[in-house]
Structure 1
């Protein structure tokens, strides 16, 4: 066990309300993807709500734009590699490839990664602050992306480039 774990938040701007019929494939797939995440190597924790409708988390309303709401995904993993392995494989990858059916394309940073002390569960407010900080400052050791990664604070090294196709996450 290490002293640090990887927190991540990904937000997506919805093309329709969560309960709209056009979102049905996504909503159905969300349960499958979450179940596969729960047993994925390196998965530790994810924010959950009782009815599964993460659109009820209102903290990202400031980023709605012309969407029907912002859907957050907040989780903790053992490493960048574990997160990346999950994101770019299996059920998650199949739904990731279909994201344009349910979410608006964006140019803003929508995924933020950062190291947290082992056992820490990020709050929604913490995630909002990380997304804002990343957008204002770009990747730095305190908040970064899959494309530009920084090692755990207890590992001495500079930034490293990730997969050049990894501009999206969970």
Structure 2
């Protein structure tokens, strides 16, 4: 059976210094290795990247230190395994060295039709939804997951805000 939905994710962060600064250089040194790991992980579908092969130079904000990361996966378990059970995990554990603490939502997950890819604006709108209304079917977290739109049963681990139900 062909899968009708994929899981999109965005996470953003504000670097503590510009690329080339020794405080963030280890992050940039690990980037190609971690991106290659993502691309070879089970369930990986797509990731946002520029001509250089990553998304750190993509400008979407007046703040040049604010960088995006977006990807698409076949399911939440595949993304979770990459984020929390692979060589990505120790690098992610160092995030406080490279990124300022972020007020508000910095990561969001949502379902998209298989074969489509989100834009940065799609991701930013999901962060806004999550920040403003909390987890809902259109923007959620690992801790408050929702089933794909064609899935049966209640949300996973969360009771949704009634405002979000039925909204795109």
TM-score, normalization: structure 2?
A: 0.87
Which of residues 58, 66, 69 in structure 1 aligns to 2:65? 69
Using the TM superposition, give the Cα deviation of residue 86 of structure 1 relative to its aligned residue in structure 2, in angstroms: 0.4
Assess if the C-alpha contact under 8 Å between 2:48 and 2:54 holds in 1. Answer: no
Question: Within 2, Cα distance between the matches of 1:3 and 1:53?
Answer: 27
Assess if the C-alpha contact under 8 Å between 1:60 and 1:128 holds in 2. Answer: no
Question: Within 2, Cα distance between the matches of 1:52 and 1:2?
Answer: 27
Question: What stretches of structure 1 move > 3 A for 4+ residues in a row?
Answer: none
Q: What's 2:144 paired with?
A: 148
Question: Within 2, Cα distance between the matches of 1:44 and 1:80?
Answer: 12
Q: What's 1:120 paired with?
A: 116
Matches within 5 A, 1:38-117: 38-52=39-53, 54-61=55-62, 64=63, 69-117=65-113
Using the TM superposition, give the Cα deviation of residue 60 of structure 1 relative to its aligned residue in structure 2, in angstroms: 3.9
Consecutive unaligned residues in structure 2, runs of 5 or more: 159-168
Using the TM superposition, give the Cα deviation of residue 53 of structure 1 relative to its aligned residue in structure 2, in angstroms: 5.5
Q: RCO greater where, 1 or 2, for CA within 8 Å and sep 6 or more? A: 1
Assess if the C-alpha contact under 8 Å between 1:3 and 1:117 holds in 2. Answer: yes
Consecutive unaligned residues in structure 1, runs of 5 or more: 163-170
CA RMSD of aligned residues (A): 1.6
| 1:108-135: CA deviation from partner (whole Å, max 9, x where unpaired) | 1110100000011101111111111111
SS at match of 2:10: strand
Matched positions, count:
157
| 1:57-77: CA deviation from partner (whole Å, max 9, x where unpaired) | 22244xx5xxx6111110000
